[in-house]
């Protein structure tokens, strides 16, 4: 019996997973699996465990760099119908957003409904699951501020909830250890739709003015901000804007972004990352830590 027999409809083998990331770089994954339901996800996890197959969970691939040799693992993406649901409570203050929901669309829906809480997340290309996992956000706030509880699945397929205060959000991290975030319960508050839209526009304009355009190939900020200093400022101060290795270039607009230009490989980006870390360490005595995940 083959590893995923009976699940053929949701499993692809030797899948060019790099295509699914914002960088669009990197080699294939042994398996690419899109469970349609929680039950199917449990089945997939069981099969992976039985067959000693490592797995990664993928959101929208905006914070991931896949190595040129790909990954000898399964990549699981929660984009079946069950994972795309949004359920607003009658008064609109409570929202259950499932892991595969597009955060940008969710921000728009909340603007239309006159619900405040997600404005700070404007323009972040993420799934809800990915955003919660890394507490996505920026100078205007992060998603952790509105999450009340999450429904999780562990590596044994057990489903359980975690709520605040046990659930803790910190700068670009959470204390969620479970492998899968199934959904998040968000607390919103009714507000003036015009004011909400104004805030969304302000955040959008700030990003447009300060970050590379969305049609460039990049993965957002590469490094975390050390101790509240902008990593971009440090890299800028080290004189590294415009530095190029192969097809990978440090953005002239915001130094914490690396653009992948024509012919770029994941190896180019990884080499550039190392050069940046070395130079910032030598010149500014600061150790930069990756914000993006590298899958190899
Ligand atoms: N700046 C420079 N040179 C640069 C980059 C920035 O002088 O090369 C200056 C800016 O002009 C600004 C200050 O540094 O005065 C701070 O820059 P910014 O507002 O862009 O903030 P950041 O700390 O660099 C964070 C997040 C971004 C998020 C922005 C805006 C991190 C690592 N980065 O950047 O998040 O978009 O705030 O909210 O937390 C991401 O997570 O992928 C990401 C892009």
pLDDT of residue 228: 81
Looking at the CA of residue 254, tell me the nearest atom of ligand 1.
Answer: 8
Averaged pLDDT for residues 285-294? 97
54-71: average pLDDT: 97
DSSP annotation of 216 reads S
Q: Is residue 223 part of a domain?
A: no
Domain residue limits at 123? 84-209
**Beta-sheet strand order (sheet of 159-163):** 86-88, 94-98, 180-187, 147-153, 159-163
Looking at the fold, whether 122 and 173 belong to one and the same domain comes out as: yes
- Are 1 and 47 a contacting pair, CB within 8 Å? no
Q: How far apart are CA 3 and CA 268, in angstroms?
A: 35
Task: Say which DSSP state 73 is in.
Answer: E
Predicted confidence (pLDDT) per residue in 86-145, tens digit: 999 877 789 999 999 999 999 999 999 999 999 999 999 999 999 999 999 988 999 999
Catalytically annotated residues: 172, 221, 291
- Whether 190 is covered by a domain: the verdict is yes
Q: How far is the CA of 258 from the centre of ligand 1 (A)?
A: 13
Q: What percent of the chain shows pLDDT beyond 70?
A: 99
pLDDT at 93: 85
Q: What is the mean pLDDT of residues 217-238?
A: 96
Query: What pLDDT, on a 0 to 100 scale, did the predictor assign at position 13?
Result: 97
pLDDT averaged over the chain?
Answer: 96
User: Looking at residue 52, what is its pLDDT?
Assistant: 97
What is the distance in A from the centroid of ligand 1 to the CA of 254?
Answer: 7
Question: Residue 126 belongs to a domain with what CATH number?
Answer: 3.30.465.10
Q: Is 49 part of a structural domain of the chain?
A: yes
Helix (H) or strand (E) holding 104: helix 103-113
pLDDT in the model for residue 1: 59
Atom of ligand 1 nearest to the CA of 139: 38
Residues 164 and 107 in one domain: yes
Ligand 1 centre and the CA of 49: distance in Å?
Answer: 40
Mean pLDDT of 240-244: 98
> Does any domain span residue 159?
yes
Domain assignment present for 89: yes
Closest atom of ligand 1 to CA, residue 171: 39
The predicted model gives 143-162 an average pLDDT of 98
Calpha distance 197→27 (Å, rounded):
40
What 3-state class would DSSP assign to 36?
coil
Residue at a domain's end among 61, 77, 93: 77
Domain of residue 290, CATH code: 3.90.78.10
236 shares a domain with 157: no
Identify the domain boundary among 59, 77, 95.
Answer: 77
Tell me if 79 sits within 8 A of 165, measured CB to CB: no
Count of beta carbons in the 10 Å neighbourhood of residue 7? 16
Checking if the pLDDT of 223 tops 70, the result is yes
Task: Give the number of C-alpha atoms closer than 13 A to the C-alpha of residue 185, restricted to the C-beta side.
Answer: 13
CATH classification at residue 43: 3.30.43.10
In this structure, which residue's CA is closest to atom 19 in ligand 1? 139
- Ligand 1 mean position, distance from CA 156 (Å): 38
Instruction: Tell me how many domains the chain contains.
Output: 3
Predicted confidence (pLDDT) per residue in 187-211, tens digit: 999 999 999 999 999 999 999 999 9
The pLDDT assigned to 62 comes to 95
Pocket, ligand 1, Cβ cutoff 6 A: 138-140, 210, 220-221, 224-225, 230-233, 236, 254-256, 291
CA dihedral sign of residues 4, 8, 14, 20: negative
Query: Of 77, 95, 112, which residue constitutes the final position of a domain?
Result: 77
Q: Is the peptide bond before 165 cis (omega within 30 degrees of 0)?
A: yes
């Amino acid at each position: 019996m083959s590893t995923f027999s009976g699940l053929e409809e949701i499993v692809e083998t030797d899948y060019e997973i790099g295509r699914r990331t914002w960088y669009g770089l990197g080699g294939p994954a042994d398996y690419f699996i899109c469970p349609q339901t929680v039950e199917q996800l449990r089945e997939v996890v069981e099969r992976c465990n039985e067959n000693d197959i490592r797995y990664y969970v993928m959101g929208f691939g905006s914070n991931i760099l896949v190595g040129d040799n790909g990954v000898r693992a399964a990549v699981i993406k929660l984009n079946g119908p069950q994972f795309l649901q949004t359920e607003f409570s009658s008064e609109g203050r409570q929202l259950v957003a499932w892991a595969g929901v597009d955060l940008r669309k969710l921000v728009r829906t909340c603007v239309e409904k006159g619900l405040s809480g997600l404005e700070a997340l404007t323009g972040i290309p993420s799934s809800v699951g990915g955003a919660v996992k890394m507490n996505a956000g920026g100078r205007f706030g992060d998603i952790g501020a509105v999450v009340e509880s999450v429904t999780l699945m562990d590596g044994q397929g057990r489903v359980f909830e975690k709520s605040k205060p046990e659930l803790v959000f910190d700068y670009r991290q959470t204390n969620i250890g479970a492998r899968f975030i199934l959904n998040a319960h968000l607390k919103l508050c009714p507000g003036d739709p015009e004011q909400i839209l104004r805030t969304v526009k302000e955040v959008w304009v700030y990003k447009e003015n300060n970050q590379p355009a969305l049609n460039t190939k990049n993965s957002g900020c590469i490094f975390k901000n050390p101790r509240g200093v902008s990593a971009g400022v440090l890299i800028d101060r080290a004189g590294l804007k415009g530095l190029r290795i192969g097809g990978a270039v440090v953005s002239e607009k915001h130094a914490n972004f690396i653009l992948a230009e024509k012919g770029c490989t994941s190896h180019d980006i990884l080499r550039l990352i190392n050069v940046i870390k070395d130079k910032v360490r030598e010149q500014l005595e600061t150790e930069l830590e990756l914000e993006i995940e590298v899958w190899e």
